Amino acid sequence: MTQQDGKTILITGAAGFIGYHLARSLLLCGYRVAGADSMNDYYDPALKCARLKELLAFERFSFIEGDLADAGLVERLFIEAKPNVVVHLAAQAGVRYSIENPRAYIESNVVGFFNVLDAVRAHPVEHFLFASSSSVYGNRDKTPFSVEDRVDKPVSLYAATKKSDELMAYTYAHLFGVPATGLRFFTVYGPFGRPDMAYFKFTKAILAGKPIDVYNGGDMLRDFTYIDDVTSCLERMLFAPPKPDETGAPYALYNIGNNKPVRLLDFIRALEDALGKKAELIYLPMQPGDVGKTYADISETRRDFGFEPATQIDEGLRRFAAWYRAYYYA
C-alpha cells in the first residue's frame, strides 16, 4: 500500500475485530489513525482493551472513547481528528442478540450511524466507507449473493438496521454528494476475533472438553473470509471513492467475501485439525434469525480492486488456533 502523506484515517469501532486489524495495518504503513470505540461489554471488554493497548503503542494513533449515539461526542471527534477518510465499523453486532436486545441495535446501528453520516456531511471527507453485512441478503436460494440482488426481506433486526444504513448513506450521497461505499462483510474470522462468533465459541469449548452446539444439523454454508484478506481489500479502497451513478450519487456497494462457502461440519473438522482435538457435537434446530447459507459474488470487488481472497480455511484456522493458545494459555 502506498502511503499518502499527511492523511488521517478515522476508524470507528477501532477496538473491534476488523477495526483493530485495519488500524494496525495502516499505522504500520505510516498513516495517522484516529480511533473511536464505546468499549461496551457485549463481549469481554478485556479483549477490546488488549487490542487498544497495541494500537496506543503507536505515536500516530489517537483515541476517543464514547458512544456514537451521542451527537456531541461525534462532532468533537470530527473536529479533533480532522479526518481525510472515515471508515465506520462501529456497530452492535450479532443476529441472535438483536432478538433479545433490539434497542441496542437502533441506538448503535441507526442513531449512531446517522450521527457519523451527518458529521461527514458537515465535515466533508474524501471517502466514507461503512460496514454493512451479508445478513442483508436474508434467506435466499439464488447464489452467489450479488450486490444487484433485492434485499428487502431481512430475517433479523440486525439485518434490517444494516439495510437502513445503506439507504441513509445513499440518500446522503444523492443529496449532499457524500462519497460513500458500503461493505457487505461475509463471516470475517481470524486472530483477535470476536468471542460471540461460532468459531471462537467452538474453540473455547473444544479445548475445554465441552460439547458444541451445531444448528440445523450442521447443514449450513458460510463464506468464511480471513481478516488479512479483508484488510488488504479495505486498504485498496480507502482513496478510491465511487464515481457518480446514473442519478449522480457517488455511492457503491461491494461484497467482501471469500467466494468459497464452506459447510459447517467441514469447518468444524478443519478446526479440529487446527486444534489437534476432536469435538463433541450436539445437533440443534435452526435458530430464529439465522440464515442457511452465505455466498458472496465478488465480481465487482475483483474488477474494481483486484480482490482475490488468498487464505484457505485450513490455514486461516491454524493461524487463529495458534493465536488463541498464545493469548489464553501462554
- Active-site residue list: 158
Cα distance between residue 29 and residue 5, in whole Å: 11
Task: Please name every residue paired with 62 in a beta bridge, in sequence order, or none if there are none.
Answer: 34
First to last CA, the chain: 33
State how far the alpha carbon of 232 is from the alpha carbons of 22, 26, 73, 265, 297, in Å. Answer: 8, 10, 30, 28, 18
Cα distance between residue 75 and residue 211, in whole Å: 47
Q: Under 8 Å CB-to-CB from 284, ≥6 apart: which residues?
A: 213, 214, 215, 216
C-alpha cell at 5: 502523506
Cα distance between residue 9 and residue 36, in whole Å: 11
Q: 132, exposed or middle or buried, with CB in 10 Å at 0-12, 13-18, 19+?
A: buried
Helix or strand or coil: residue 93? coil
Cα distance between residue 296 and residue 134, in whole Å: 8
Cα distance between residue 68 and residue 117, in whole Å: 11
Secondary structure percentages of the chain, helix, strand, coil, to 5: 45, 20, 40
State how far the alpha carbon of 307 is from the alpha carbons of 132, 233, 260, 301, 302, in Å. Answer: 18, 6, 14, 6, 4
Cβ–Cβ under 8 Å, residues 203 and 152: no
Cα distance between residue 205 and residue 225, in whole Å: 22
